[in-house]
Structure 1
Amino acid sequence: MIAIDKLWKEYGDNVVLENISKTVQAGEFVTLVGTSGCGKSTFLKMLLGMETATRGRLLMDGAPIRTEPDQTRGIVFQQYSVFPHLNVLSNVIIAREFEHSPLMGKLFGRQKTQVIEEARALLEKVGLANAALKYPHELSGGMRQRLAIAQALIRKPRVLLLDEPFGALDPGIRADMHKLILELWREHQLTVFMVTHDLAEGFYLGTRLWVFDKVRHDPQAPGAWGARITYDLPVGKTPATTVAAIEQSLKLTEQKFDANTGETT
């Protein structure tokens, strides 16, 4: 479904990603881990169409991924991307309204009734049926993230992109969200790419785990080399020694990043 062919992403002299080649089949759940600044979110934006490749190709079903977001791809960010002036139900249906009526952003009659029914059914699935008329400021963090997921799914995307969606949630709520996203992945037969800083979360949720890491470092030119996918692991078949090696590799990369840039990750 997704083919990545010798992909590079550069911003001027700063190389973010270098020479990545992978294929992903429909229905896979790929989790992406790596230190801050190694290009995971940039790669997600390239899948969405917000960023384009400097070199190489990024294909979906054999054709270049469109250079703007469309209904084939939905995304959920860590920060809740909801409209504060709209209630929960309106937040979900607005994407479908602009899809059917790009100029007015409004639906009427039978079309609107159908979209409202779809939205209410989706809110039921994500556990927000009783909060349909509430506004975002009246919701907890977990509820707002459920709303963001409903927003992404209402357009029935084939690919769901998750950019650290649970990082700001308490452990108990996070566990509930894990269960929810796995249920939705199976029910909607989604292909999922999820960025996380939590290696355990990556192994728990995904069917496949990618580790982004810079294998080449130049202290005099920190941006000269980009990240590659250094591990591509089938979840459930990874020895404990490999997991330990990944954790150690990420720690070493983080220390080098701090030493070269003076920043903290």
Structure 2
Amino acid sequence: MSELKIEKVWKEYGDQIVLEDVSLTVASRAFVALVGPSGCGKSTFLRMLLGQEQPTRGTILLDGAPLPLEPGADRGVVFQRYSVFPHLTALGNVLLGKELAASRYKARLFGQARRSAIDEARALLAEVGLAGAESKYPAQLSGGMQQRLALAQALIIRPKVLLLDEPFGALDPGIRAEIHTLMKRLWHETQMTVVMVTHDMREAFTLATRVVAFERRRDRPEEKERYGATITKDISIWPPRIAGTASIFGPDRDGPVSSLGHRRDDLAPSGDF
């Protein structure tokens, strides 16, 4: 399970209130898109879910337990700027997550454990369309390939929650469409909950099960420090999108597939959302 529960959360920096009285429940395996004007606190909210920042007031629960005070393996993150290590190959970038999880200080695996981790990393690279690029460095990859690598890097640790901070905003439209297809398939086939910040409304309504809007109710210059943003709209997508199943009206062409990589006709015949 991977349910998030945000209860009466406030975030303040000194005298400036960024977020006020934010309450939200994100069901396990939901895909929630956060939208709103620049500077309204969406990325700050995401950093609190990651554990990079702490709420000034209120609580954040993951599966009923308080969220740890620092980032952990239960939460993966992909940023707009490719968060991959330039000195490591594609395989090395993905393998690092397994090595850090197994040996926090040495970051090395040996023997059968290392061979198994390499096989898992290679399989995940193939899943995101990077088969054959294992030995390449990030500088040798296109922007779309680097973002696929960042996704694989986040997914190798099998997070309960995947956090996306405008991860596709810098991509060309054609590449972005390919990444959207990949993202929908990965969401269908894994057990994770996804929370994504985006400025692209079409992207939000294409990918998400819910679209949550942040906005300042009082936005005059003299009010910006005294009043923060809060949730003003919470829109559930219709027809409903449920991870692992097809839409009841327009089955998802990018939906779940079998373990052999073939689409399961009983769940997702050809079509679209």
**1: CA distance between counterparts of 2:146 and 2:74?**
23
1:182 partnered with 2:184: yes
1:204 is paired with a residue of what secondary structure? helix
The equivalences for 1:94-173 within 5 A come to 94-173=96-175
**2: CA distance between counterparts of 1:92 and 1:99?**
12
The equivalences for 1:245-256 within 5 A come to none
Deviates most, 211-220 or 71-80: 211-220
**1: CA distance between counterparts of 2:6 and 2:105?**
35
Q: Which residue matches 2:42?
A: 40
Given that 2:61 and 2:67 are in contact with CA atoms closer than 8 Å, whether structure 1 keeps it comes out as: yes
Given that 2:48 and 2:54 are in contact with CA atoms closer than 8 Å, whether structure 1 keeps it comes out as: yes
**2: CA distance between counterparts of 1:205 and 1:25?**
16
Given that 1:2 and 1:60 are in contact with CA atoms closer than 8 Å, whether structure 2 keeps it comes out as: yes
Q: Which residue matches 2:195?
A: 193
**2: CA distance between counterparts of 1:86 and 1:72?**
23
1:1-52 superposed Cα distances (whole Å, 9 cap, x missing partner): 1111111000001111100111111010000001111110111111111111
**2: CA distance between counterparts of 1:79 and 1:165?**
7
Given that 1:218 and 1:224 are in contact with CA atoms closer than 8 Å, whether structure 2 keeps it comes out as: no
Q: Which residue matches 1:93?
A: 95
Q: Which residue matches 2:210?
A: 208
2:132 is paired with a residue of what secondary structure? helix
1:71 is paired with a residue of what secondary structure? coil
Runs of 5+ in structure 1 lacking a partner?
A: 239-265
Q: Which residue matches 1:13?
A: 15
Counterpart AA for 2:210: R
Given that 2:75 and 2:160 are in contact with CA atoms closer than 8 Å, whether structure 1 keeps it comes out as: yes
**1: CA distance between counterparts of 2:10 and 2:127?**
39
1:232-251 superposed Cα distances (whole Å, 9 cap, x missing partner): 0011369xxxxxxxxxxxxx
Task: State the Cα distance separating 1:75 from its structure 2 match.
Answer: 0.2
Q: Which residue matches 2:27?
A: 25
Q: Which residue matches 1:54?
A: 56
**1: CA distance between counterparts of 2:107 and 2:7?**
38
Task: State the Cα distance separating 1:218 from its structure 2 match.
Answer: 4.1
2:228 is paired with a residue of what secondary structure? coil
Counterpart AA for 2:164: L
| Structure with greater helix percent | 1
Runs of 5+ in structure 2 lacking a partner?
A: 241-273
What TM-score, normalized to structure 1?
0.88
2:221 is paired with a residue of what secondary structure? coil
2:157 is paired with a residue of what secondary structure? coil
1:134-164 superposed Cα distances (whole Å, 9 cap, x missing partner): 0000000000000000000000001000000
Counterpart AA for 1:10: E
**2: CA distance between counterparts of 1:16 and 1:62?**
25
What TM-score, normalized to structure 2?
0.85
- Count of aligned pairs between the two proteins: 238
Task: State the Cα distance separating 1:61 from its structure 2 match.
Answer: 1.1
Counterpart AA for 1:106: R
**1: CA distance between counterparts of 2:210 and 2:231?**
12
Q: Which residue matches 1:263?
A: none
**2: CA distance between counterparts of 1:60 and 1:189?**
14
TM-align CA RMSD: 1.1
Counterpart AA for 1:81: S
